[in-house]
Structure 1
């Protein structure tokens, strides 16, 4: 059966509409105003009628639905590039700062490695030369240089650890507001969704079901002719053609009229027979 689709109800929200409808029908016997379900109309017939009247039912909660859709679109919308551009009015300054930070990071990483390697080389060579007899004069210089680079290695490791800690704290502080903003938008969408569900049920579905059960013209069990409903209640099933009563004769319509052909007199002939 062809179902009508609401012009203001998005396709992605139609399953939610059907779920709310099914839940209302499932608990219909718990409501006194819907206690007559099954006497003239069963659950399947009511469901078909409600689906055919989707546009009418959802119009009762149009304001709540529009608010819900807007809140959901704001949550899904990506970050505006114009706002990012306004927050950084000088791209050259940002590029220079980024390059400076990159050089500092490279130096912070390489300094302990190079200093440690230099310290190890100078100390090994210096102590080996001191073992010779007689020891070269520059052996002590190499040992002193080795211990100097060892101190540089220790200082570089300390500086690198502090820099990593500061970077981690800075990143965590910049991420927290974004998380809070997203949570706020999610809560707003949830509230808007619940408001639409409540309005759809209380102002749309339940009044429609009550009207359908109370309308005496809605009688799908009638054997005389396919019933037709009036007002806001759509019909269920298919409507057949209207047949006239046996007592009523066929309605005579106007008969077609014919005109006799016009014959010419025998005095007139073709162009080869001219009258004398």
Structure 2
């Protein structure tokens, strides 16, 4: 049954997708269909485009990825653990708790003993300086030197414990096995099928299409409009013009300002009789 849509690429699988993409670009010169890299698109541009198109590319290998995620989830399910595994896990948890307590005691013993030694010695010598005949001062000094010796012994024990632990871990440590070597056979097969489908049906076709399209590229995908060219919005502005005909179609009337003159006043000789 073919799935309607591919599952979203999980974050834990994105590094694997980027690794397959990087390998495809690294060995692109070995494929004749990818020989056009560098003409109008370089490797970094193709990588950026492929990362931006991750959902579309991974969708081509959707059925294989769905199967791989399902079998991997079944492997990680807690129900897959046997009773012996649970018992061993509980015993290991107890061992780690005991080892942690011992490590805390080993680390705190030198600190506590050294602090006590400093206090006893300081108080004891101060009391001896004030009253040399005071017997309690000698007891404080003796206790201080005892705690100093205990602090030194605790530091030696802690150093020896660290050295023994380092040697034991170094002797029993094994090289980390390959990730695929520890996978069950069905999970390994599902993973390899997803890788192959992702490369052959997703990444390589995308790279071929990008190289075959001369307009593909960052500049072609996001053209910048010219500042002297306004975009068309699908309608034109109305053209306004004066009404045709009507009273305004004839000649416009002209107006002249009235000729105002001042009153004709004369001198006293022109007074009315």
TM above 0.5, one fold? Answer: no
| TM-score of the aligned structures, taking structure 2 as reference length | 0.44
TM-score of the two chains, using structure 1 as the length reference: 0.43
